[in-house]
């Protein structure tokens, strides 16, 4: 283990693995080669599917381009199951989707468990469902694992040592070595790569599980760049706004979808943790900046910040005190995107608005989401 992963920069969390999905758009082979050569990335885990109907449209191209870059490839399925039967059905769906997309046999196909459906279950139920998914996915020739947040690990579900891929984002990353007994620690969701657009989830690998248990042949060509880029990624880059003003606002919010709690009031700030739907958050101040309305949560070691929604729709992510919570349809919205944003199935969303999933919706239309 140590021979595989240590040596580049012992005091900095490493960018051993990147995970990508449709949110990152099309990723070229050149981008993955840059990640490998300049940042030391060895493995990429791509989104394969979600629930029982959604297949990531970029899964096949991501798999092919990662392999062309000479890197290890794995996949993940975003879980929506709430019962054992649903877990088995989703595993069958994910396994078939992975086969069709070209994910090679013996790769990891992890279950990503962070949805509202899982939040509503007991620890015992989640453990049973996760075990059912993992047993079923192995029938397709894939190795199984669980991805979840640090706040859920061994609280909402059991994550034993020498298993698991855990997301937890410290305010200052340098010098930290969290979840070292698990397979992987995802330590940032905002990592930047030189020729790729936007922020990326990056993880440090603590075992060779995500590199197929083989001796790594993936070697960066510019070790000095890897060291410098890794050091830069470990910095806390959030900066206070010089124009917007904070105002006092002592309120209690209940999240209606999972939201990232960040180290600063910016989408480029590191995430501290992922707050699941249903979480109650007490805040003391609020601000509108960079297109979002942010609130500040006092914590035992400082503050956390979360967006309650866009500045033009200030409570998109939190429940209001009204009998119903409404969402105004925007251009590009669909039954699926609105349902996912609000932790609902498409059928539930449509039926509570007196419609079916085949009914056309239009910008400006108001839908009941709670």
Q: Enumerate residue ranges in the chain where pLDDT < 70.
A: 1-11, 213-218, 235-244, 268, 290-291, 300-301, 310-324, 354, 370
Task: Report the pLDDT value the prediction gives residue 313, as an integer from 0 to 100.
Answer: 47
Other CB atoms within 10 Å distance of the CB of residue 240: 11
| pLDDT (0 to 100) of residue 46 | 97
Cα dihedral across residues 264, 265, 271, 275: positive or negative? positive
Sequence-distant (≥ 6) Cβ neighbours of residue 335 within 8 angstroms: 346, 349, 350, 357, 361
Name the phi and psi angles at 349, rounded to 5.
-60, -45
The confidence score (pLDDT) of residue 283 equals 85
14-44 pLDDT tens trace? 999 999 998 888 899 999 999 999 999 999 9
Q: What local confidence, expressed as pLDDT, does residue 240 receive?
A: 42
What would the two tokens of residue 54 be?
Answer: 């959604």
Predicted local distance difference test score (pLDDT) of residue 323: 47
How much is the pLDDT for 260? 84
Separation CA 146–CA 176 (nearest Å): 22
Ramachandran angles phi, psi of 147, nearest 5° = -105, 135
- For tokens 């996760």, name the residue: 130
Q: What is the tens place of the pLDDT at every residue in 93-133?
A: 999 999 999 999 999 999 999 888 898 899 999 999 999 99
Q: Which residues contact 106 (CB under 8 A, 6 or more apart)?
A: 141, 142, 143, 212
Predicted local distance difference test score (pLDDT) of residue 237: 43
The SS3 of residue 330 is coil
Distance CA 313, CA 263 (A): 23
- Residue 108's pLDDT is what? 97
What is the model's pLDDT at position 7?
38
């Amino acid at each position: 283990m140590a021979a595989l992963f240590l040596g580049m920069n012992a005091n900095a969390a490493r960018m051993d693995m990147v995970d990508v999905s449709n949110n990152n758009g099309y990723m070229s082979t050149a981008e993955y080669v840059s990640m490998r050569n300049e940042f030391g990335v060895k493995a990429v885990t791509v989104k394969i599917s979600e629930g029982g109907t959604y297949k990531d449209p970029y899964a096949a191209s991501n798999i092919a381009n990662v392999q062309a870059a000479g890197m290890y490839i794995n996949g993940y399925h975003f879980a929506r199951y709430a019962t054992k039967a649903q877990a088995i059905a989703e595993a069958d769906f994910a396994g078939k989707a992975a086969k069709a997309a070209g994910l090679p046999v013996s790769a990891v196909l992890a279950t990503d468990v962070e949805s509202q459906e899982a939040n509503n279950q007991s620890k015992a139920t989640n453990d049973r469902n996760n075990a059912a998914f993992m047993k079923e996915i192995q029938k397709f020739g894939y190795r199984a694992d669980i991805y979840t947040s640090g706040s859920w690990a061994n609280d909402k579900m059991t994550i034993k040592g020498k298993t698991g891929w855990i997301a937890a984002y410290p305010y200052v990353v340098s010098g930290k070595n969290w979840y070292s007994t698990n397979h992987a620690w995802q330590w940032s969701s905002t990592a930047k790569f030189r020729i790729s657009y936007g922020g990326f989830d990056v993880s440090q690998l603590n075992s060779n599980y995500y590199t197929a248990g083989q001796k790594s042949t993936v070697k960066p060509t510019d070790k000095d760049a890897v060291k410098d880029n890794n050091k830069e990624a470990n910095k806390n880059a959030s900066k206070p706004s010089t124009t917007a003003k904070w105002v006092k606002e002592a309120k209690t919010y209940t999240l209606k979808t999972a939201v990232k709690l960040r180290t600063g009031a910016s989408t480029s700030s590191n995430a501290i943790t992922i707050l699941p739907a249903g979480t109650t958050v007490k805040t003391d101040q609020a601000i509108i900046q960079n297109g979002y309305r942010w609130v500040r949560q006092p914590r035992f070691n400082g503050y956390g910040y979360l967006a309650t929604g866009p500045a033009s729709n200030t409570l998109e992510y939190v429940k209001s005190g009204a009998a119903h919570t409404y969402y105004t349809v925007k251009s590009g919205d669909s039954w699926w995107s609105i349902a996912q944003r609000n932790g609902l199935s498409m059928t539930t969303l449509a039926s509570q608005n007196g419609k079916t999933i085949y009914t056309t919706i239009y910008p400006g239309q108001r839908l009941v989401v709670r």
